[in-house]
């Protein structure tokens, strides 16, 4: 015989009291902790996103837009595959969390009872001290000495005030005109090379001098990268107890690629004053870090091909043996859909390092590994990039969609690249 159990306010015959149905999800009880954890570092008052929903009322008002961005996986903007590797501070929602948000929206996006309010810690965007802040020195007119109507590549010399040896422990590039700046790369130029740098600058009228990415016109700089910026970048901290080396008397050269397509719309300013900030350490006790690109520059992407896969593999050799990889950042242009880097062992087995399988040119972030990966002398690195060169994936130039053409490696936003930058410590 079943026992009588009192479950106020009713008397029921049951083996026990079923938990009370909480009803549809509400914002303050169910959704707010998820939004705070994964969205509010950017979507709050005073942060970088153009739209804020940092109160329950704002979230309710924007609920349909929030759900559309989450359902399409545009937000949070984190595109490295979790099946490839595990990364620090992954903000993506689980399937169960996504379902809670969907139900909240479809049931009217109710704010809920404030007495049930729950919170999560809002992650803070990276910040640096800005021990040294350097500027290109002028409101540079990006149309100056422009070699063609779409792209301008300009190098500017900056002074890090390296009166002694420095180690750069963090960096931040602050573009002066994000609508025109395609990327910024900063490299060390040694004191012994400053005569070459001055000659390049003297030969060019106006501020700076014309140059191409990956080479500022001075040998060896590609191996001495100090900082970088692409759309989606944020201030960057080097791995703990490590830094990038700057010799006494060195200068820094920034190479800025300006894509001028936005000028055709008329409302975009043609002026830029990009800045570079660094944190420095002079103790001499830090390990040496480096930022080195792994790339395939032998690209040949046929016109109209929907899925063009380009692969290259290179041995590690002694120079990188023992390097511990902490962070990885892909770089492609407008046609890219997937960039993947693998560590290939001597026996042919491989480990996935990073696979950005939903490439978005506007969100080129660095993915920091939960567990650093160590390269061995007999390893090789395999990079695979995939492109969509179909008609529907072409850019608009001056309001007209381009016709697909054969695309090779190149500097222009309308050429392509296949790169993964590796941050490692030796």
Q: Which of 52, 53, 187, 41 is nearest to 127 (CA)?
A: 41
Asked whether the predicted pLDDT for residue 168 surpasses 80, the reply is: yes
* Structure token pair of residue 74: 């545009």
Distance CA 273, CA 271 (A): 7
- Residue 8 in domain: no
Asked whether residue 408 falls in the same domain as residue 308, the answer is yes
Question: What pLDDT shows up at residue 9?
Answer: 37
Summarize pLDDT for 364-396 with one digit per residue, the tens: 889 999 999 999 999 999 999 999 999 999 988
Question: What pLDDT shows up at residue 123?
Answer: 85
Exposure string over 169-202, b if 16+ CB within 10 A, otherwise e: bbbbbbbbbeebbbbbbbbbbbeebeeebeebbe
Asked whether residue 176 falls in the same domain as residue 194, the answer is yes
- The model scores a pTM over 0.85: no
Mean pLDDT is lowest, of 68-77, 241-250, 392-401, for: 392-401
Question: What pLDDT shows up at residue 399?
Answer: 84
- Residue 358 in domain: yes
Summarize pLDDT for 78-120 with one digit per residue, the tens: 999 999 999 998 999 999 999 999 999 999 999 999 999 999 9
Asked whether the predicted pLDDT for residue 298 surpasses 70, the reply is: yes
Domain termination site, one of 116, 140, 172: 116
Q: How many residues does the chain have?
A: 426
Mean of pLDDT values over 173-192: 93
Distance CA 87, CA 89 (A): 7
Please give the sequence-ordered ranges of beta strands (E in DSSP) within 282-363, or none if there are none.
Answer: 287-295, 300-301, 308-315, 324-331, 336-344, 350-356
Asked whether residue 248 falls in the same domain as residue 273, the answer is yes
- Residue 398 in domain: yes
Rg (CA), the chain: 25
Most confident of 6-15, 39-48, 121-130, 417-426: 417-426
Asked whether residue 275 falls in the same domain as residue 135, the answer is yes
Structural domain including 180 reads 128-285
Q: What is the CATH number of the domain that holds 390?
A: 2.60.120.230
Summarize pLDDT for 305-327 with one digit per residue, the tens: 999 999 999 998 877 889 999 99
Q: How far is CA 361 from the centre of its chain?
A: 9
- Strand pairing of 166-174 and 275-281? antiparallel
Q: Which of 359, 352, 355, 381 is nearest to 367 (CA)?
A: 355
Asked whether the predicted pLDDT for residue 5 surpasses 60, the reply is: no
Ramachandran assignment for 95, one of left (phi > 0), alpha (psi -120 to 50 degrees), beta (any other) = alpha
Asked whether residue 202 falls in the same domain as residue 248, the answer is yes
pLDDT higher at 255 or 222 = 255
Asked whether residue 28 falls in the same domain as residue 83, the answer is yes
Domain termination site, one of 116, 145, 168: 116
Question: What pLDDT shows up at residue 415?
Answer: 92
Question: What pLDDT shows up at residue 260?
Answer: 86
Tell me if 185 sits within 8 A of 225, measured CB to CB: yes
Distance CA 408, CA 417 (A): 8
Domain tally, the chain: 3
- Residue 167 in domain: yes
- Report residue 146's pLDDT band, with 50, 70 and 90 as the boundaries: low
Asked whether residue 401 falls in the same domain as residue 310, the answer is yes
- Report residue 23's pLDDT band, with 50, 70 and 90 as the boundaries: confident
Asked whether the predicted pLDDT for residue 11 surpasses 90, the reply is: no
Asked whether residue 253 falls in the same domain as residue 342, the answer is no
- Residue 93 in domain: yes
Tell me if 34 sits within 8 A of 120, measured CB to CB: yes
Asked whether the predicted pLDDT for residue 1 surpasses 60, the reply is: no
Q: What is the CATH number of the domain that holds 217?
A: 2.60.120
Asked whether residue 280 falls in the same domain as residue 301, the answer is no
- Residue 16 in domain: no
Q: Give the rounded percent of residues in the chain with a pLDDT score beyond 70.
A: 93
HSE at residue 37, side-chain half, CA atoms within 13 A, is 15
* Structure token pair of residue 300: 């040949």
Instruction: Tell me the three state secondary structure of residue 391.
Output: helix
- In a 10 Å sphere around its CB, with 0-12 CB exposed, 13-18 middle and 19+ buried, how is residue 57 labelled? exposed
Asked whether the predicted pLDDT for residue 18 surpasses 70, the reply is: no
Distance CA 234, CA 91 (A): 15
Summarize pLDDT for 237-293 with one digit per residue, the tens: 999 999 999 999 999 999 998 988 888 777 789 999 999 999 999 999 999 999 999
Summarize pLDDT for 338-368 with one digit per residue, the tens: 999 999 999 999 999 999 999 998 888 899 9
Asked whether residue 259 falls in the same domain as residue 133, the answer is yes
Q: What is the pLDDT of the chain when averaged over all its residues? A: 90
Distance CA 385, CA 55 (A): 41
- Residue 227 in domain: yes
Domain termination site, one of 247, 262, 285: 285
Question: What pLDDT shows up at residue 19?
Answer: 58
Tell me if 214 sits within 8 A of 106, measured CB to CB: no
Asked whether residue 194 falls in the same domain as residue 312, the answer is no
Beta-carbon count within 10 A of 306 CB: 12
Tell me if 365 sits within 8 A of 234, measured CB to CB: yes
Tell me if 60 sits within 8 A of 111, measured CB to CB: yes
pLDDT higher at 265 or 58 = 58
Asked whether residue 168 falls in the same domain as residue 223, the answer is yes
- Residue 201 in domain: yes
Distance CA 404, CA 395 (A): 9
């Amino acid at each position: 015989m079943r026992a009588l159990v009192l479950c106020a306010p009713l008397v029921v015959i049951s083996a026990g009291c079923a938990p009370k149905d909480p009803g549809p999800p509400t914002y303050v009880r169910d959704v707010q902790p998820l939004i705070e954890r994964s969205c509010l570092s950017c979507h709050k008052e005073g942060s970088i996103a153009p739209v804020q929903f940092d109160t329950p009322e704002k979230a309710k008002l924007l609920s349909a837009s929030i759900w559309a961005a989450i359902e399409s996986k545009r937000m949070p903007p984190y595109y490295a595959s979790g099946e490839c590797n595990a990364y620090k501070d992954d903000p993506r929602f689980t399937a169960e969390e996504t379902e809670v948000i969907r139900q909240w929206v479809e049931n009217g996006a109710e704010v809920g009872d404030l007495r049930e309010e729950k919170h999560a810690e809002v992650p803070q965007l990276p910040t640096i001290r800005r021990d040294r802040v350097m500027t290109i020195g002028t409101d540079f007119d990006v149309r100056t000495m422009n070699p063609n109507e779409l792209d301008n590549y300009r190098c500017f010399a900056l002074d890090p005030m390296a009166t002694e040896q420095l180690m750069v422990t963090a960096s931040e590039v602050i573009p002066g005109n994000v609508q025109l700046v395609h990327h910024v790369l900063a490299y060390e130029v040694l004191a012994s090379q400053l005569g070459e740098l001055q000659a390049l600058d003297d030969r060019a009228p106006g501020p700076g001098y014309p140059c191409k990415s990956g080479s500022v016109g001075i040998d060896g700089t590609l191996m001495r990268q100090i900082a970088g910026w692409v759309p989606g970048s944020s201030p960057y901290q080097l791995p703990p107890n490590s830094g990038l080396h700057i010799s006494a008397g060195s200068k820094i050269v920034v190479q800025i690629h300006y894509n001028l397509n936005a000028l055709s719309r008329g409302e975009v300013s043609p002026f830029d004053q990009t800045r570079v900030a660094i944190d420095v350490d002079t103790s001499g006790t830090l390990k040496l870090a480096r930022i080195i690109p792994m790339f395939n520059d032998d690209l040949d992407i046929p016109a109209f091909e929907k899925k063009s896969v380009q692969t290259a593999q290179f041995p590690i050799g002694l120079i990188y043996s023992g390097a511990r990889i902490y962070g990885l950042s892909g770089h492609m242009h407008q046609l890219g859909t997937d960039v993947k880097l693998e560590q290939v062992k001597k026996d042919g087995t491989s480990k996935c390092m990073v696979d950005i399988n939903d490439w978005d040119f506007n969100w080129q972030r660095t993915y920091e590994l939960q567990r650093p990966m160590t390269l061995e002398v007999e390893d090789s690195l395999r990079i695979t990039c995939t492109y969509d060169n179909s008609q529907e994936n072409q850019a608009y130039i001056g309001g007209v969609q381009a016709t697909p053409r054969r695309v090779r490696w190149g500097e222009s936003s309308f050429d392509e690249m296949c790169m993964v930058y590796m941050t490692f410590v030796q």
